[in-house]
């Protein structure tokens, strides 16, 4: 079964990528800070697109009480997310540090659009930590419970 990231989240990530791309082209201190941010964000976004966001595609079905044996496949993603969550949160801290540097450079350059982007991306990271990552993990827990599967850490014992 293929799990797909909900369209609103896909569009939001695409918009963030585009705003970052534009910032990298700003030149000067702003462009350099945006390029440093892009180097941090790209592998993080790839990881999110692989393991953190696709499980959210099951939220609507699960909230309606729907389930199928094929849903068990999502457990590979949610187990990986749980295992990699500490590293992803550390990546967020590095990204927020880089965003603060970008915001400061943009303020000095009078680039209000890049300041706004920096602030929006910090809020996006906070939303991922408080809502999206926990929701994805809950998807795995609900699927595991409904399909009678043991948690990966218990199955290994």
Residue 83 included in any domain: yes
Cut 0.75: pTM above it: yes
* Model pLDDT, residue 1: 67
Residue 28 included in any domain: yes
User: How do residues 28-80 score in pLDDT, each as one tens digit?
Assistant: 999 999 999 999 999 999 999 999 999 999 999 999 999 899 999 999 999 99
Residue 1 included in any domain: no
- From CA 78, how far away is CA 73, in angstroms rounded? 9
Residue 42 included in any domain: yes
- From CA 58, how far away is CA 147, in angstroms rounded? 14
* Model pLDDT, residue 157: 46
- From CA 151, how far away is CA 157, in angstroms rounded? 10
- Number of structural domains, the chain? 1
Residue 2 included in any domain: no
Residue 60 included in any domain: yes
Q: In the structure, what pLDDT confidence band is assigned to residue 152 with cuts at 50, 70 and 90?
A: low
Residue 57 included in any domain: yes
Helical spans, DSSP H, in 6-73: 7-24, 28-47, 59-63
User: How do residues 100-143 score in pLDDT, each as one tens digit?
Assistant: 999 999 999 999 999 999 999 999 999 999 999 999 999 999 99
Look up the domain containing 57 and give its range: 7-155
């Amino acid at each position: 079964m293929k799990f797909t990231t909900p369209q609103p989240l896909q569009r939001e990530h695409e918009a963030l990528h585009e705003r970052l791309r534009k910032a990298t082209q700003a030149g000067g201190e702003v462009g350099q800070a945006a390029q440093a941010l892009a180097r941090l964000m790209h592998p993080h976004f790839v990881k999110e697109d692989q393991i953190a966001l696709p499980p959210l595609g099951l939220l609507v079905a699960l909230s309606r009480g729907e389930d199928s044996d094929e849903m068990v496949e999502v457990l590979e993603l949610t187990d990986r997310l749980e295992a990699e969550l500490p590293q992803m949160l550390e990546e967020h801290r590095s990204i927020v540090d880089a965003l603060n540097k970008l915001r400061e450079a943009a303020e000095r350059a009078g680039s209000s659009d890049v300041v706004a982007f920096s602030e929006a991306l910090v809020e996006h990271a906070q939303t991922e930590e408080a809502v999206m990552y926990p929701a994805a993990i809950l998807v795995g827990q609900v699927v595991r419970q409904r399909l009678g599967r043991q948690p990966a850490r218990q199955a290994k014992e």
